[in-house]
Structure 1
């Protein structure tokens, strides 16, 4: 499938999907300007300088458009007033926490070949770990992310893996499987003119193209050499890696509730924010009202007119804050001998705090996590990993569900990288093209004291071997290091000695050999 023809509407995404992606991207940005621009019905265009949010007629309309525009962030700021709305970055915190649960401990990649295994370790430590953290955050926020192979001889001699959000590519999905993807980014814009770079990944080839159009139209193709970012690229890069793609799509969920009936979207996931947009909006409104109470509760002092100092003709009067005053002949008011009155409104702290906590808890629960994952210690301190997992059961089940989806995507892209290195970038001897087995580590582990006590009890009950105990106490060690540790423990404890019953006995002392089956005894 070639690059899109000229004058293609861009981006070619179903309106319902595009609307959701723009909402999620705005909340993920944690930028009040982008959120306000989104709900003020003014599209935010990547690459165009930001503008002050403007009031739009949609705020005064009925129906769905008017309802969305009349959300807290869609309410127009009265003319002549400054915007005082506050934003709580809970949405970005959810995305970051999701990535930490999955990849704070990087997954292990295992193959049969020792040389290939060594190469996989180099890939992990060479940048794949931080790429997975980025991809996990983008997937949680935008409903999915792409793992893409790129290469540049001026940067590094071989390919590496990058992460792209779901709003940065147009997927070619067939029965829920990825058959290709077109990545795009803005190279520049001048007035209404917009220049985009497109990069399409297909089986056996990557196609490049630059287009000059408008904000909502791809426009016409232009020369790749016209821009420094693309002048070294070929229009078509061909390679032979079999049926594999140089890109993998990792959805955040297996199904998307919002567009199950939209053709061509089977295989796209949905964000952790799905269904919580109005709650996120209400949380910001609550925090803004809370801070408004704080502003209005500033102490105000009412003084008699005689206490004010004249600033001269036409300059009015003012209150001078000093320590020594000359007595004034001002009659006292009833119940106040000095005539000074202090006014300070009450801050509704408890009401706002309870409302904000309830909204935050509902948003976190709808995203599939437990409140304790976000630092809520209302259940008390956790003493063991078992207690932590019990309190964070919802987060652990969400992590396990996402890990299943990520394991497939990681295996696909790593296998494609091995195949690409074997054909286009030869030089790593002994490396075979194998599909790795991806295993995620336990993100919550017992402390060393608990593990040692468990190992002592198992040893006392003679219910586990030394190798099992070493693996229990040292889950981070690989198999070879664990075996070496077992030998050291046996040697130091004196248990690594020969059996005294058979020690020193040769073959002649071993006694008569057992007769073979069917052989007569002598």
Structure 2
């Protein structure tokens, strides 16, 4: 299907989906201004203080998110934001890609190209994709190329809120990405890029915030002008790989419980933030209350008017209090009158705020699918790998589920990239194939733990020398492993000579017939 018609409502998705993506994006950004605007203007963009925020019922309750409360006129905003949402997304990405997955191909040429992709930034791109996936419920990887930048294609991530996908029984069949080229708040210029099997369509539209508007030539804007000489009459570019889709969708986690009844979003992934938005909101409110206690608890002196002196510039120019003055004239006041200096300082409710914040963080992290130990140990003590696994059981379970979604999507897009390179656009000569993906252990054993395990296997006579070497040096290639095995056997005097090189009379001896 070609690009959308003019004057199409954009983005064409259910309002609740757009709202949820906006909320998740605001929490992920960690920007207080964006959070304030996201919740303040929910439902209308007309008034700063809306009547719905002050009435009861469902509308009033939903409107009264703490971040959605209007700032009283004449006061400055004093809300504090704790970027826990960003920490959750980063932790999810680190669990998956802190050590890159092992990508192996049967072809030597294909393996060399995959290794080159990793060296050129694929690992960093996967770390970025992992964050976007956890925050927005999914991420897209697309094959892109621009020979003025790089001679060969590479993979580029796209956040879920910048794409409109087409699914067939849960499998991505096409997707439309868009990029905002210009925007003044009312008029918006968008570049649409639609990926279908074997072809990528490009188009530029001039419209409004919620309408695609009219399509204009690609030559109208510098960012898309180079594409004008590459597209056909329908705005498409033939990828040279007619059977593959040059984009892949990786859901963060399925099913998306709140979207099961929305046909276009039923196969989308769900964010790590789904269901914990109110806890994140309450956490910010707790820390802001804590900071308010600190502001109000500043030591203050209440001085009677007799202790104040004129500023020296005449009436109307105010009075001051000299805290270094040593001599005062006694006041002729009744003895019961309270006319002395009063020192005032409120108590900071440290323990109450700290306990509340810790409870909210623990609950939010648990509902997001992680163990609190994933976000650091309070005492900073070192733990063995076994202890880490025990304390992070929930985290490791969540990581295992996420790898099930990443494995097929990552394999699809790397195969698609190799197919595009093998086509007429690049003629790489490398036959495309789907790589095998092996995920690294997110909890690394210490060298001492590995050595003790290898020693136990040797004493139990339950593992060969090669197995023990591979256990300790898991990143070594086969030739280096074999060289190490030979060296160990030679030092131990257990190396076996090739029988074909021995004479029948023994080592170095020939038999009677010369054999």
TM-score by length of 1: 0.90
1:175 Cα deviation from its structure 2 partner:
1.4
Match for residue 508 of structure 2?
Answer: 504
Aligned length: 502
Q: Is residue 283 of structure 1 aligned with residue 277 of structure 2?
A: no
In structure 2, C-alpha distance between the alignment counterparts of 1:53 and 1:395, rounded to whole Å: 43
Q: Is residue 196 of structure 1 aligned with residue 184 of structure 2?
A: no
- 230-239 or 395-404: which moved more? 230-239
Q: Is residue 143 of structure 1 aligned with residue 137 of structure 2?
A: yes
Match for residue 517 of structure 1?
Answer: none
Alignment of 1:39-118 (within 5 A): 39-41=39-41, 54-118=48-112
Q: Post-superposition, which runs of at least 4 consecutive aligned residues in structure 1 deviate over 6 A? A: 331-338, 507-511
1:126 Cα deviation from its structure 2 partner:
1.3
Match for residue 422 of structure 1?
Answer: 422
Q: Is residue 153 of structure 1 aligned with residue 147 of structure 2?
A: yes
Give yes or no for contact 2:240–2:425 (8 Å, CA) kept in 1.
no
1:214 Cα deviation from its structure 2 partner:
0.6
In structure 2, C-alpha distance between the alignment counterparts of 1:508 and 1:408, rounded to whole Å: 64
Q: Secondary structure at the match of 1:124?
A: helix
In structure 2, list runs of 5 or more residues that go unmatched.
Answer: none
Match for residue 315 of structure 1?
Answer: 317
Q: Secondary structure at the match of 1:34?
A: helix
User: Residue 52 and residue 462 in structure 1: after superposition, are their counterparts in 2 closer, same or farther (change >3 A)?
Assistant: farther
User: Residue 509 and residue 399 in structure 1: after superposition, are their counterparts in 2 closer, same or farther (change >3 A)?
Assistant: farther
User: Residue 428 and residue 36 in structure 1: after superposition, are their counterparts in 2 closer, same or farther (change >3 A)?
Assistant: same
1:243 Cα deviation from its structure 2 partner:
2.1
In structure 2, C-alpha distance between the alignment counterparts of 1:57 and 1:164, rounded to whole Å: 38
Alignment of 1:28-47 (within 5 A): 28-41=28-41
1:119 Cα deviation from its structure 2 partner:
1.3
- 334-343 or 203-212: which moved more? 334-343
Match for residue 350 of structure 1?
Answer: 351
In structure 1, list runs of 5 or more residues that go unmatched.
Answer: 45-50, 512-522
Give yes or no for contact 1:40–1:59 (8 Å, CA) kept in 2.
no
Match for residue 231 of structure 1?
Answer: 225
Match for residue 395 of structure 2?
Answer: 395
Give yes or no for contact 1:306–1:328 (8 Å, CA) kept in 2.
no
User: Residue 105 and residue 509 in structure 1: after superposition, are their counterparts in 2 closer, same or farther (change >3 A)?
Assistant: farther
User: Residue 201 and residue 376 in structure 1: after superposition, are their counterparts in 2 closer, same or farther (change >3 A)?
Assistant: same
In structure 1, C-alpha distance between the alignment counterparts of 2:211 and 2:448, rounded to whole Å: 63
2:173 to 157, 179, 182: 179
Match for residue 203 of structure 2?
Answer: 209
1:479 Cα deviation from its structure 2 partner:
2.5
In structure 2, C-alpha distance between the alignment counterparts of 1:224 and 1:481, rounded to whole Å: 54
TM-score by length of 2: 0.92
1:407 Cα deviation from its structure 2 partner:
0.7
1:242 Cα deviation from its structure 2 partner:
3.7
Match for residue 298 of structure 1?
Answer: 298
1:190 Cα deviation from its structure 2 partner:
3.6
